[in-house]
Amino acid sequence: MKRLLPLVLTALAFSSCGGQDGKVVARIGSEKITENYLQEKFMEISPAAQAYLATKPGRRQFLDVLIHERLMLLAAKKSRVASGDDYKARVKQKEAEMRATLGEYKDFMLTKMWVEDMRANELKVTDAEAEEYYQKYPYKVTLAHILLPSYEEAEKVIRKIKAGADFDRTAKEFSLDKEAVRLPPVMYGEFMPELEDMAFKMRVGEIQGIVKTPLGFHILKKLAQDKGEREPSLDRVRKILEKKKFDSYLAKFQEKAKVEVLDENYK
């Protein structure tokens, strides 16, 4: 309480200077320093310094600092620098940066609010939908994979494995994805579509491949298959179904938007 008291007294001292918001505390030519401005600047001061402002000399010194700052600004506005090309160029650059930042924020906020609205409406998953999906796909599988850049390299690797080479060691040696040989357990709908059916049909311990995806050529080993606990699984199912609805919505929208990749290097 003793530490808080000076801060409270300071706030009271400022608010008691006048009963109205925006009361003019000082003038510098045509410029004004209002009570609101003082409050704003006061909040920028560190707590240790605020204690001193509880005193009348402290308040006067604080105001003197603000007057000094305002005098400097007024003098700068009337100087040759204010009309100089360098200053104008820097301001123009900053304005462009701020417009770009504002544009990015507007795009981000619009997209975020649109997704939130979609989740509450078009993408909403009912309990019945989640239950039906869980009854059909109650299992989660754990897989290891080896990712190769070409079919020929994948063929060489799978021959090594069929000849008795250890899967994990081979993956660490040849896979493009050495840091993620063992994948986290996935439910149906959470894995890459090209690999999903095969992964869930494989027997535990079985190795299959070669399957092409946009990432490259895959060899899979099935490590485990377990039935997920009901409630956590239903939560995952809701996310799966929500994503399916979202992907379907966006695919239909893309047909209308007529997306074209024109550069051959990106096709």
pLDDT over 80 (residue 9): no
> Which residue among 88, 120, 152 closes a domain?
120
For residue 31 the two structure tokens come to: 């410029």
pLDDT score of 180: 82
Q: Is the model's pTM score more than 0.75? A: no
pLDDT score of 19: 39
8 Å CB contact between 59 and 13: yes
pLDDT score of 236: 96
Averaged pLDDT score across all residues of the chain? 88
pLDDT score of 155: 96
- Region 147-163: what's the mean pLDDT? 95
- Region 132-145: what's the mean pLDDT? 95
pLDDT score of 18: 39
Residues 46 and 104 placed together within one structural domain of the fold: no
Residues 220 and 160 placed together within one structural domain of the fold: yes
Residues 104 and 87 placed together within one structural domain of the fold: yes
Residues 161 and 213 placed together within one structural domain of the fold: yes
pLDDT over 70 (residue 108): yes
Residues 146 and 221 placed together within one structural domain of the fold: yes
Instruction: Let me know if residue 15 belongs to a domain.
Output: yes
Instruction: Let me know if residue 189 belongs to a domain.
Output: yes
- Region 124-148: what's the mean pLDDT? 96
Q: How confident is the model at residue 21 (pLDDT cuts 50, 70, 90)?
A: low
Instruction: Let me know if residue 253 belongs to a domain.
Output: no
What tens digit of pLDDT does each residue of 25-73 get? 898 888 888 888 888 887 888 877 777 777 888 888 888 989 999 999 9
Instruction: Let me know if residue 204 belongs to a domain.
Output: yes
pLDDT score of 193: 92
Instruction: Let me know if residue 262 belongs to a domain.
Output: no
Residue 29 backbone class (left: φ over 0; alpha: ψ -120 to 50; beta: rest): left
Q: Range of 112's domain?
A: 80-120
What tens digit of pLDDT does each residue of 171-224 get? 999 999 888 899 999 999 999 999 999 999 999 999 998 999 999 999 999 999
- Region 243-254: what's the mean pLDDT? 94
Instruction: Let me know if residue 188 belongs to a domain.
Output: yes
Q: What percent of the chain has pLDDT over 90?
A: 67
> Which residue among 66, 90, 120 closes a domain?
120
Residues 14 and 67 placed together within one structural domain of the fold: yes
Instruction: Let me know if residue 235 belongs to a domain.
Output: no
Tell me how far apart the alpha carbons of residues 200 and 15 are, in angstroms, rounded to a whole number.
70
Residues 144 and 213 placed together within one structural domain of the fold: yes
Instruction: Let me know if residue 11 belongs to a domain.
Output: yes
Amino acid at 162: K
Residues 87 and 66 placed together within one structural domain of the fold: no
- Of the candidates 8, 111, 99, the residue with the CA atom closest to the CA atom of residue 50: 8
Tell me how far apart the alpha carbons of residues 69 and 88 are, in angstroms, rounded to a whole number.
21
pLDDT score of 20: 43
What tens digit of pLDDT does each residue of 82-103 get? 999 999 999 999 999 999 999 9
Residues 98 and 150 placed together within one structural domain of the fold: no
- Of the candidates 20, 7, 227, 35, the residue with the CA atom closest to the CA atom of residue 135: 227
pLDDT score of 156: 95
DSSP track, 185-244: PEETTSS-HHHHHHHHHSPTT-EEEEEEETTEEEEEEEEEEEEPPHHHHHHHHHHHHHHH
* Number of structural domains in the chain: 3
Residues 214 and 159 placed together within one structural domain of the fold: yes
- 3-state DSSP call for residue 167? helix
Residues 28 and 64 placed together within one structural domain of the fold: yes
Dihedral over Cα of 86, 88, 93, 97: its sign: positive
pLDDT score of 55: 80
Residues 167 and 185 placed together within one structural domain of the fold: yes
pLDDT score of 30: 83
